[in-house]
């Protein structure tokens, strides 16, 4: 899932300094699960913004709504009719949600309340760890399901570096060496010989460094002019 965290109240207040009436929009999927942008967080942030403005001797109206997914037009269309009455919208969605709102409502000021961090895994209650960077060329099939792009500090593809000691990463001693984990996983599967194959340099053109990425499924697209 996409993991995000809320920006500081001061930064959000600064973005909204000229606004008098704001709509705070939460998202009911990823950021709800990581406790950053769900209904509860929308309520807490809205109350904080109102109180902060009152302390400054002014008032700020903050209304609240949470949609199922901000990244899909069919869900954000539900707020279209009421949007004209607001000076600004504060989105508690990921970066995709913010941009979806901004594209759907181009004349409205849309501000982000969150910093989008990574695609992560809830390793324990209240802890999320990065597991995928969306590099566009997945290698999990030969690494036992352990990603060297997101989990190896040096993004190595042919085993650990010389700094790996006792199964720990030299960059962060509290982090298991990704290639130690790969070795152990492949050992459990009886596939250690698989690590003897030298992998070529990764093709990074499929990653975000290769520019704006787009996936097109022609089998799912509607015929030209057909919007039904």
Lowest mean pLDDT across 55-64, 162-171, 172-181, 207-216:
207-216
* pLDDT score for 123: 85
Is the domain spanning 2-118 CATH 3.40.190.10? The answer is: no
- Indicate if the pLDDT at residue 30 is higher than 90: yes
Which residue, 127, 131, 105, is CA-closest to 119? 131
* pLDDT score for 106: 93
CB atoms within 10 A of CB 165: 12
* Residue for token pair 């607001």: 86
* Contact assessment for residue 80 and residue 100, using Cβ atoms and an 8 Å cutoff: no
Burial 195-228 (b: 16+ CB within 10 A, else e): beeeeeebeeeebeeeeeeeeeeeeeeeeeeeee
Q: What residue spans in the chain does CATH classification 3.40.50.2300 cover?
A: 2-118
* pLDDT score for 218: 82
Q: Over the stretch 139-166, which tens digit does the pLDDT of each residue have?
A: 898 899 999 999 999 999 999 999 988 9
Which residue, 16, 3, 171, is CA-closest to 93? 3
What are the residues whose beta carbons fall under 8 Å from the beta carbon of 123, sequence distance 6 or more?
129
Average pLDDT, the chain: 91
If one compares 155 and 206, the residue with the highest pLDDT of the two is 155
Per-residue pLDDT, averaged over 202-215, amounts to 72
* pLDDT score for 176: 92
* Contact assessment for residue 16 and residue 49, using Cβ atoms and an 8 Å cutoff: yes
The bridge status of strand 61-67 relative to strand 114-124 is unpaired
Per-residue pLDDT, averaged over 13-31, amounts to 96
Q: Over the stretch 71-90, which tens digit does the pLDDT of each residue have?
A: 999 999 999 998 989 999 99
Rg of the chain over Cα atoms, rounded to whole angstroms, equals 22
Of the CA atoms within 13 Å of residue 130, those in its CB half-sphere come to: 15
Burial 168-194 (b: 16+ CB within 10 A, else e): ebeeeeeeebbbbbbbeebeeeeeeee
Per-residue pLDDT, averaged over 176-185, amounts to 94
């Amino acid at each position: 899932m996409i993991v995000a965290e809320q920006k500081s109240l001061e930064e959000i207040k600064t973005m909204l300094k000229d606004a008098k009436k704001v709509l705070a929009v939460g998202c009911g999927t990823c950021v709800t699960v990581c406790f950053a942008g769900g209904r509860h967080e929308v309520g807490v942030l809205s109350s904080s913004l109102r109180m902060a403005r009152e302390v400054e001797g002014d008032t700020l109206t903050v209304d609240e709504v949470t949609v199922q997914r901000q990244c899909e037009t069919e869900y954000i269309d539900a707020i279209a009719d009421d949007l004209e009455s607001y000076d600004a919208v504060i989105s508690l969605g990921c970066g995709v949600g913010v941009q979806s709102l901004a594209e759907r409502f181009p004349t409205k000021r849309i501000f982000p309340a969150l910093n989008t961090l990574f695609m992560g895994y809830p390793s324990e209650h209240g802890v999320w760890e990065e597991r995928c960077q969306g590099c566009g060329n997945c290698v999990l099939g030969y690494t036992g399901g352990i990603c060297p792009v997101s989990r190896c500090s040096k993004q190595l593809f042919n085993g650990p570096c010389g700094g790996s000691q006792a199964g720990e990463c030299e960059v962060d001693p509290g982090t298991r060496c990704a290639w130690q984990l790969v070795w152990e996983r492949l050992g459990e599967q009886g596939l250690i010989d698989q690590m003897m194959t030298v992998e070529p340099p990764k093709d990074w053109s499929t990653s975000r460094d290769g520019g704006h990425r787009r996936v097109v499924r022609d089998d799912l697209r509607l015929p030209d002019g057909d919007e039904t």
